[in-house]
């Protein structure tokens, strides 16, 4: 009946799980692919925008630094000093140590004549710049950055000029900048096989040589971005193909940086992802089917195991109830014994006082009386210790969280088992670390753990042997380590992995339930600790318990 029920339940779970898994999987796959496509395209646009803005920032910084250098030179030196070419040459060399972008430098008066020139083109000293557009611009604005041009030097370059006044005289510090530096910055933004990047001025004239879209000083073969003010990213159809364009203004030079990307190259990972997604989709279906079958089988096994665990839990409750009842009984017995014991002790003291009187002291049996009183007092004291242990044991039956001295709890447990061990001629040796940190735990549960393990060791040895108990603080993990070692027969390899299983026992029928170590394992886990066992058949067994030191 049970087998038929479980089989029917197995098929029901399989079909239900597959139905609720595969239908959403198809819907989820389509949705994810669409969202991924949209997100990936948005990411490409965002990355392109970031790229163009980063390149713009690099060029803005480049122009700011060059202008600052020239302004600093113009403001910290006199016209007389800079008009001397020897002095100007020293300044120029100092500037070149910081940047190789400067080709030459010159001082020009308000009439457009060179007062001094340092550079590879000495013939430029004779050139008058009064009629040049840039000359009037720098006199009116104070700072001027030109477009790229050929000029008298006959190669692409641009100039930065700053104006200065001194003693009623106006003069200009002018430097020529190698445009290859700007070319290198732009070229680094040419991504992929079809990607392009270039700079145009406000008249849509190329200031750098593009990769595919035209020639230097010509118009680019792309839409006109010369009116761009803010950063923009657009998808534009060019020659029948979609292209992403990003454009932004370089504020210092009033140029426009344009970057072009081929979306096919950028979307290649998405296309690959589509094929991978199909493979993963099919693999997912296979995994779901296999997983469903395995999970269902596991669930069936768990249902069977739950019955066993339920039995263990019920037994633990029964054991706890027994221990609590035993504690109450022990307390009652201890109190019942203590009352007559107090009377016996009191009467023994009274008899001792009587023996000191003169008449009794002369009795020939005085020595025997005194010996009898001493024995009575000795056994009264011994019985008191036993009852105190019973009371201590009874108090520990109530579960409470408190600071526990592990050494003391172990010592009390050993004292409690003293008669049992002596009767079996078993020597229990202790090696407790002094000043062992106290732990926050339940002393009653610890007592139950130690009683079970030491009792097991006594049962394993049976008669004539040795048990060693050691405590140590492990600072690395802030744990207390308790080792209980016996020289009994040990545990075989095939049994050592089963000793913590419920109902497993190697004792004779009727001498063990097989729940002792299972309960110990469960309690230690609940206390946040762990237990390990090491044993060799015929060589004895060592149980090692680790308990955390908690504040």
Nearest to 81 by CA among 162, 145, 164, 139: 164
DSSP labels, 380-410: HHHHHHHHHHHHHHHHTTS---EEE-HHHHH
Using CA atoms, how far apart are residues 136 and 144, in angstroms rounded to an integer? 10
Grouping H, G, I as helix, E, B as strand and the rest as coil, residue 202 is: coil
User: What values do phi and psi take at 425, rounded to 5?
Assistant: 60, 45
Dihedral sign, CA of 474, 478, 484, 489?
A: negative
Q: Are strands 530-536 and 540-548 parallel, antiparallel or unpaired?
A: antiparallel
Grouping H, G, I as helix, E, B as strand and the rest as coil, residue 438 is: coil
Question: Which residues of the chain are in CATH 3.30.450.20 domains?
Answer: 77-178
384-411: pLDDT as tens digits: 666 665 665 555 444 567 888 999 989 8
Looking at residue 35, what is its pLDDT? Answer: 81
Each residue's pLDDT, cut to its tens digit, for the chain (551 residues) gives: 456 776 787 888 888 888 888 888 888 878 877 887 787 788 888 888 998 999 999 889 889 999 999 999 999 999 999 989 999 999 999 988 877 888 999 999 999 998 999 988 888 888 888 888 889 899 989 999 988 888 776 788 899 999 999 888 899 999 999 888 888 888 888 887 888 899 999 999 998 988 887 888 899 988 899 888 889 999 888 877 888 899 999 977 689 999 998 877 766 776 677 778 788 888 888 888 888 888 888 887 887 677 666 766 666 566 555 555 555 666 667 666 767 767 777 777 777 777 676 566 666 676 777 777 777 877 777 676 666 656 655 554 445 678 889 999 898 888 878 888 888 888 899 999 998 999 988 887 888 888 888 888 888 887 888 999 999 999 888 999 999 999 888 888 877 777 777 666 766 654 555 667 777 888 888 888 999 999 888 888 999 999 998 76
Q: 406 near 480, Cβ under 8 Å?
A: yes
Looking at residue 72, what is its pLDDT? Answer: 92
DSSP labels, 38-104: HHHHHHHHHHHHHHHHHHHHHHHHHHHHHHHHHHHHHHHS-HHHHTSHHHHHHHHHHHHHH-TTEEE
DSSP labels, 111-171: TS-EEEEESS-GGGGG---TTSHHHHHHHHHSEEEPPPB-GGGTS-EEEEEEEEEETTEEE
Looking at residue 526, what is its pLDDT? Answer: 83
Nearest to 66 by CA among 35, 101, 24, 42: 101
25-42: pLDDT as tens digits: 888 878 877 887 787 788
402-551: CATH class:
alpha beta
Looking at residue 22, what is its pLDDT? Answer: 83
Number of helices (H), then strands (E), belonging to the chain: the values are 14, 16
pTM listed for this prediction: 0.47
Residue 506 parent element (H or E):
none
Looking at residue 116, what is its pLDDT? Answer: 92
Task: Say which CATH topology domain 77-178 has.
Answer: Beta-Lactamase (3.30.450)
Question: Which residues of the chain are in CATH 3.30.565.10 domains?
Answer: 402-551
Q: What's the mean per-residue pLDDT of the chain?
A: 82
Token pair for 480: 């207390």
User: What values do phi and psi take at 486, rounded to 5?
Assistant: -125, 160
Looking at residue 546, what is its pLDDT? Answer: 94
């Amino acid at each position: 009946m049970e087998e038929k029920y479980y089989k029917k339940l197995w098929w029901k779970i399989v079909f239900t799980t597959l139905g609720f898994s595969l239908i959403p999987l198809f819907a989820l796959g389509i949705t994810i692919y669409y969202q991924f496509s949209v997100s990936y395209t948005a990411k490409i646009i965002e990355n392109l925008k970031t790229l163009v803005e980063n390149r713009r920032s690099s060029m803005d910084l480049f122009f700011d630094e060059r202008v600052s250098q020239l302004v600093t030179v113009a403001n910290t030196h006199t016209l007389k000093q800079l008009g001397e070419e020897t002095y100007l040459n020293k300044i120029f060399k100092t500037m070149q140590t910081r940047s190789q972008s400067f080709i030459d430098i010159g001082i020009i008066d308000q009439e457009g004549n060179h007062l001094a020139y340092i550079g590879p083109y000495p013939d430029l000293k004779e050139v008058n710049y009064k009629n040049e557009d840039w000359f009037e611009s720098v006199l009116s604005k104070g700072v001027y950055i030109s477009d790229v041009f050929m000029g008298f030097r006959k190669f692409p370059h641009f100039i930065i000029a700053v104006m200065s006044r001194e003693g009623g005289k106006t003069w200009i510090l002018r430097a020529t900048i190698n445009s290859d530096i700007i070319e290198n910055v732009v070229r680094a933004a040419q991504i992929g096989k079809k990607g392009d990047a270039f700079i145009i001025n406000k008249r849509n004239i190329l200031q750098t040589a593009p990769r595919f879209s035209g020639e230097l000083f010509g118009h680019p073969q792309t839409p006109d971005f010369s009116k761009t003010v803010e950063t923009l990213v657009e998808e534009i159809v060019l020659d029948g193909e979609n292209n992403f364009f990003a454009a932004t203004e370089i504020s210092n030079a009033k140029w426009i940086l344009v970057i072009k990307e081929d979306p096919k190259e950028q979307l290649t990972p998405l296309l690959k992802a589509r094929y991978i997604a199909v493979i993963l989709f099919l693999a997912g279906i296979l995994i779901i089917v296999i997983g469903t079958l395995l999970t269902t089988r596991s669930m069936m096994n768990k249902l069977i195991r739950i019955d066993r665990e339920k039995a263990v839990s019920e037994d633990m409750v029964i054991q706890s109830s027994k221990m609590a009842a035993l504690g109450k009984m022990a307390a009652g017995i201890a109190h019942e014994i203590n009352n007559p014991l107090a009377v016996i002790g009191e009467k023994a003291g009274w008899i001792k006082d009587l023996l000191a009187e003169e008449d009794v002291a002369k009795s020939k049996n005085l020595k025997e009386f005194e010996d009898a009183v001493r024995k009575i007092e000795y056994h009264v004291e011994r019985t008191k210790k036993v009852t105190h242990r019973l009371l201590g044991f009874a108090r520990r039956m109530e579960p409470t969280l408190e600071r526990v001295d592990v050494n003391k709890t172990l010592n009390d447990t050993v004292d409690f088992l003293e008669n049992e061990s002596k009767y079996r001629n078993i020597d229990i040796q202790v090696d407790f670390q002094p000043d062992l940190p106290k732990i926050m735990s339940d002393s009653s549960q610890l007592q139950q753990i130690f009683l079970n393990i030491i009792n097991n060791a006594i049962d394993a040895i049976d008669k004539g042997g040795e048990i060693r108990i050691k405590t140590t603080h492990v600072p690395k993990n802030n744990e207390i380590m308790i080792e209980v070692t016996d020289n009994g027969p040990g545990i075989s390899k095939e049994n050592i992995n089963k000793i913590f299983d419920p109902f497993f026992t190697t004792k004779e029928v009727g001498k063990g339930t097989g729940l002792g170590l299972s309960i110990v394992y469960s309690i230690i886990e609940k206390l946040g600790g762990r237990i390990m066992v090491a044993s060799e058949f015929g060589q004895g067994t060592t149980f090692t318990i680790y308990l955390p030191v908690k504040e």
